[in-house]
Every structure is written in C-alpha cells, then in structure tokens.
Chains A and B, each alone.
Chain A
Amino acid sequence: MNNLIILPIIIPIIAGMLMVICKNMIKFHRFLSLLAIISVGTVSVLLMEQIKFAGIQILYLGGWQAPFGITLVADMFAVMLVLVTAIVTFCCLCYAFSSIGIERELHYFYPLVLFMIAGVNGAFLTGDIFNLFVCFEVMLVASYVLISLGGTRIQLRESVKYILINMISSFFFLVAIAFLYRMTGTLNLAHLSVLVAKAGQGGLMTAVAFLFLIVFSLKAGLLLFFWLPGSYSAPPPAIAAIFAALLTKVGVYAIIRLFSLVFYHEPGVTHQLIGVLAAITMVLGAMGAVAYGDIKRIMTYNVMIGIGFILAGFASFSTAGMSGTVYYLIHDMIVKALLFLLGGTIIYLTGTGKLKEMSGLIRLHPQLGWMFFIAALSLSGIPPLSGFIGKIFITEGTFHSGYFWLGGIGLLSGLMVLYSMLKIFMNVFWGYTNLTDETDKGTHRGLLLPIGILTVLTIALGLGAEGIHEYVDLAVMGLMEPGLYIDAVRGSSLW
C-alpha cells in the first residue's frame, strides 16, 4: 500500500476545485496551477525511486483488496509517463500565461487543464479497466470544453466532430468492457490477465480484444485518425500542444497496457494487426505531412506518424522494440508539445498558417528559428537528439521480429518527417524578410522560455539517454513480464 500513488490524481482535482471557488483571481489560478503540476512531478520522481528499489507500488482504494476494489498500480512505465505529462503541462501552462488571453482564463482555463491532467494521470495509474474508462471520460469531458473554449467558428465546428467521435468510441469502450466482464467476471487488469491466461485467449476473446483495439485506435489516432487534423488545429497553440502531447498518447498507453498485460497470447493475430495499422498510419500521415502547405496541417499529420512509429515498436513485441517504444513515447510527448508551441508562435508572429505567405523570419527571430531547426532534427531522429535512440531500438526490434516492411516504412516515414519539417523551416525562416519592424509582433520571454525548456529537454534526453536507461529497462521489464505486475497486485491473496 502506497498512498503516494493517488496524489497525481487528487492534487490537480483539489487545485482545480479551489480555483473554481475563487473564480476571478487569475494570478492565484496561475500560481496554483504551476504549484499543482510541480508537486505532481515531484511525487512521480519520488515514486520512480521507490519503484526502482522496491518494485511495483500498489494502492487498494479504501482498503478493498484486488480484485474487489479499485486498485491503483504504479509501475515504472506509468510513472515515467506521469512525470513527462507534468513536464509538458508545465511548459504549456507557462506558454499559456502570455498567450491564452484573459477571456479564456476567466472561463476556467486552468481548472480545466488540471482536470484533464487528473484524467490523464488516472488513466496511466489505474489497474482497473472500468476505472480506465472513467479516467478517459474525465479527460475527454475536460478536453471537450478546452477545444470549444473561446467559441470561434472553426472551434465550434471541430468540437462537434470531436465530441461525436469520442462519444461513439466511448460507447464501444463500454460495450467491450461489458463483453469482457461477461466472459471473465472481473474488471481488475491483473485478475483479467490471470483469467484470460487460464481460459486461453480463444476466438471470442480475441474478438473482444479487437473491439478494444478499435476503441483505442480512435482515441490514439491509429489509422482511424480522420477526426484528428481538424480537431487539433482548431484550439489555440497552448491547448493544441497539450492535446497533441498527451491525449493521443493516453490511447497509445491503453493499447500497450492491454495488449502486453491481458491480450498477449496471440501476437500473431493481434500484434501483427497493430503493426499493419501502424504501417498504414505512417504512410498516410507521411503523405499528409508532405502534401499540405499549412503549418497546422503538417504538424497534425506529424502527430499521426509519431503514433504509428511508437506502435510499430510495440507490434514487434521484442525487448528491443519495447524499449524503443518507451524511449520514443517519452521523446514524442516532449517534442510534439515543442513543435505545436513553435508552430503556434510562428502563426502568431506572421498571422497566417500558409507556408507560401511567410518568409525570412530568421532575421527577426533567430532564437525561434534555431529552436525550430533543433525540433525538426529531433523529430526526425537525427543523432544526438532524443528521437534517435528510440528510432534505433524500434527499427532493431522490428527487424529482429522479422517485420522488415514495418521497420522500412518507419525509416522512410522518418525521411518524410524531415522533409516536411525542413519545408517549414526553409519557407518560414529563409528567404527575403517580408515582416518589417513595424508589423512584427515580437516574441518575449513568456513565449520563448517554455519553448526553450522543451528544446533543452530534447537535447538532454538525447545526450543523456544512458542516464534514463535504467528506468526504461525497468519499464520494459514490467511490460514484457506480466507476472511482475500480477504478483504485485495480487499481494497475499489467492487468485
């Protein structure tokens, strides 16, 4: 029993509710939201140390033993993601301070972000599939409001689509849980794993697994990404960055968790299908990224390529592929937030999203230009930046498992990412400067600081990959050996 595990979920809720009660004190909102996020980050660092020395940490809510009560499980993979979530949110909040506008701040922007973070952290930490559903809903309800907050025309149009598509996938999620409960009689993930292993993963069980795959693919944007380019380009940059960095990754996390802990008996069927889906996602995403001439579109298609690549590593289901997945997932969360903040800043400066209408920004904004260059290289996995190590491991994993086509498509899509990024870089930063000193809106520390932090992080993560190696190994071990997770949840009970 370890009460620390609940803190990443309840700290944002308590802070958010205090803000709802003190509605008009915006300074207090800003301070409290940063404080809450920093404490979540600190808690996750503490948890990581405890897991390193004492193994997977468990909390039975209300003292009800698994599989009867809700269990929270903090294994290394989940807690690492909680930490990265805190870091990314910290930077996006800093960016929001100077860009989101007083209107949105007065309409509960900070509480909503915190509620969303509570849902995201809950989804990472829960060990109960129904609780996972609830946490998804908490996260989604907050994101519905965030995407439509401000009520501009494009936001309202996209939020209708976004809400509809998520309602449908939530409905399927519930149906899939009902099927699973009917067949096994439990909702606890560890207990499910034991029961599925005992009864064998027959055809019916695999069908349910596919249902879950459809649900999480919709949320993660794996092949079923038709809603994603529109929705993610509607809200302002700070919100879009949080969405791009976190929301799709929660779907990816759910896929990885379910298909490594419960439905891992038929990798020839389920994991190969995930591989095929990942490959198609990468190809289509790369086409979109290369074809469009609009910064927001290019960025959202890059989100899809990232999702495809992460799951390509998972589909290989080998130790190398899995550590690549963990490395690349962390890298992707940081660098996608960075990319969206950079793109948002460029659009703010030039007042347009079309590549053809901007040029020569580097003369006025050299720091922004070089940070964009670093982000572009990191995104496409150029050493020594953070994308490189994940890319190597994922490629090695896919080749090792005999999925040469998958690894090949992954590498090719990396080239396309580089092309699309350099297309932005050359169009926006090179050439004749068409902004004069008068029309230039100028950047200030409030915008550049969070971008700078994320840029430093992506460099540090690349150079210091050795430093987090130990933690990634623990995370991968937890994923590859479901027994560890099950034993930790089971404790001393006999099931």
Chain B
Amino acid sequence: MKEPNDVILKTATKAAVVIILAFSIHLFLSGHHNPGGGFIGGLAFVAAVVLLYLVHGIEKVQKNIPVDFKKVAGIGVLISVFTGVGGMISGNPFLNQAFWMVDLPLFGKTEMATAVLFDVGVALAVIGASLTIIISISDDR
C-alpha cells in the first residue's frame, strides 16, 4: 500500500503536540483556583496523544509509549482514593484537604495543597480511561 504523503500534517503535529501538552499542564495547574483541573487537564492530554495516534498510527505510538492505560486508570483512582484516606488517618473526615504556603526558589510564595494530589489521580484516571476507550474502539473492525 502506498504511504499517504502527509509531511505537512506530521510537521505541524510536532509543534502542536508540544503546545497541547503544555496547555494541558496549564489547565491542570490552574484548576486549584480557576477553571481547569484534573479532568479537563487529562482530556487535553488525551487530545495530544490522539493526535499522535492519528498521524503516526496506533502501533508506532504504542511502541514508543509502552504503557497499559487500563493500569494508568487504576493507579489514578487509587491515588485519588488514598488522598482521601490520608485525611482519615489524621483524624479528619474522608476527603479533607490540607495546604501549606511554601517559599520555593524561582516560584516565590507557592500554595502546596493535597487537593493537587487528588487531581493528579483524577487526571491519570481520565487519561487511562479515555485512551483505553479510544484504542479499543479503533481496534474494532
């Protein structure tokens, strides 16, 4: 079969994927006080990976990202649940969150919150689940 000539698409993807990934991280981090968060941050991340799938084909991408996304989803949910359990161990209600103000070099005064850990779990769960869905639909002929 003749390979389609998609030089423009491949070149544009190289730049676009970086931008989408950066944007997804921005969405994720801004989620603490502004619109954003683990869910849409994760979805934006998935958008970047799906773009790679479309351009380079599923096998090639999977060879370069050898991750079982079902496990990613599982680990994500576990991280979120255990963040909730963390509150229980210190005698607070389930899902209780704590935060500290920390002076970081370069960033200045930064708020560190356990809610971010919860969001990491959410993001991983979203990434794992949606990529699993997309891969299994595309497998089905």
Chain A residues with a Cβ under 8 A of chain B:
1, 3, 6, 10, 13-14, 17-18, 20-21, 23, 59-63
| A/B interface sample: 24 pairs, CB < 8 A | A1-B93, A3-B88, A3-B94, A6-B94, A10-B81, A10-B84, A10-B85, A10-B94, A13-B77, A13-B81, A14-B81, A17-B74, A17-B75, A17-B77, A17-B81, A18-B78, A20-B70, A21-B71, A21-B74, A59-B94, A62-B87, A62-B95, A62-B97, A63-B93
B13 at the interface (CB under 8 A from A): no
**Separation of A14 and B77 alpha carbons in the complex (Å):** 8
Once bound together, how far apart are the Cα atoms of A413 and B94, in whole Å? 46
Residues of A within 8 A of B81 (CB): 10, 13-14, 17
Q: Which of chain B's residues have a CB closer than 8 A to the CB of A13?
A: 77, 81
Question: In the complex the two chains form, what is the Cα distance from A61 to B92 in whole Å?
Answer: 10
Interface size on B, as a range, is 10 to 19
Chain A residues near B95: list those with CB within 8 A.
61-62
Contact partner of B93 (CB less than 8 A), chosen from A18, A21, A23, A60, is A60
Most buried by A among B70, B85, B94: B94
Q: When the two chains form their complex, are residues B78 and A63 in contact, meaning their CB atoms are under 8 A apart?
A: no
Partner of B96 from A14, A17, A18, A62 at Cβ < 8 Å: A62
Find residues 73-104 in chain B having any chain A CB closer than 8 Å to their own CB.
73-75, 77-78, 81-82, 84-85, 87-88, 92-97
A1 to B96, CA, bound (A): 12
Chain B residues near A10 (CB, 8 Å)? 81, 84-85, 94
- Nearest CB to that of A62 among chain B residues? B95
User: Bound state CA distance, A13 and B94, in angstroms?
Assistant: 15
Q: Which residues of B contact A59 (CB under 8 A)?
A: 93-94
CB distance from B14 to the nearest CB of A (A): 33
* Chain B, range 3-47, C-beta contacts under 8 Å to A: none
**Contact assessment for B74 and A20 in the assembled complex, using a CB-CB cutoff below 8 Å:** yes
Q: Report the Cα distance A21→B75, complex, angstroms.
A: 7
| Residues A17 and B94 in contact, CB atoms below 8 Å apart | no
**A72 to B, closest residue via Cβ:** B94
Cβ 8 A contact of B70, one of A14, A18, A23: A23
Are A14 and B78 in contact (CB-based, < 8 A)? yes
A491 to chain B, nearest CB (A): 12
Chain B residues positioned under 8 Å from A14 (CB to CB):
78, 81-82
Closest A residue to B75 by beta carbon equals A21
A373 to B94, CA, bound (A): 46
Contacts of A18 in B (CB 8 A): 74, 78
A14 vs B82: C-alpha distance in the bound complex, in angstroms? Answer: 9
A344 to chain B, nearest CB (A): 30
Chain B residues, Cβ within 8 Å of A1: 93
A23 CA to B70 CA, complexed, in Å: 10
Please report the C-alpha to C-alpha distance between residue A20 and residue B76 in the assembled complex, in whole angstroms: 11
Q: Do B84 and A17 touch across chains, with their CB atoms under 8 A apart? A: no
Q: Which residues of A contact B70 (CB under 8 A)?
A: 20, 23
The 5 closest A-B pairs by CB, nearest first: A20-B74, A62-B95, A6-B94, A17-B74, A21-B74
Q: Whole-angstrom distance between the alpha carbons of A59 and B81 in the complex?
A: 16
Closest A-chain residue to B71, C-beta based? A21
- Measured CB to CB, the closest approach of chain A to B133, in angstroms, equals 13
Residues of A within 8 A of B88 (CB): 3, 6
Instruction: Compute how far the CA of A197 lies from the CA of B82 in the bound complex, rounded to whole angstroms.
Output: 39
How many angstroms between the C-alpha atoms of A6 and B81 in the bound complex? 11
Bound-complex Cα distance A62 to B97 (A): 7
Knowing that A1-B93, A21-B71, A21-B75 are A-B contacts, what are 15 other residue pairs whose CB atoms are under 8 Å apart, sorted by A's residue number? A3-B93, A10-B85, A14-B78, A14-B82, A17-B75, A17-B77, A17-B81, A18-B74, A18-B78, A20-B71, A20-B74, A21-B74, A59-B93, A60-B93, A61-B93
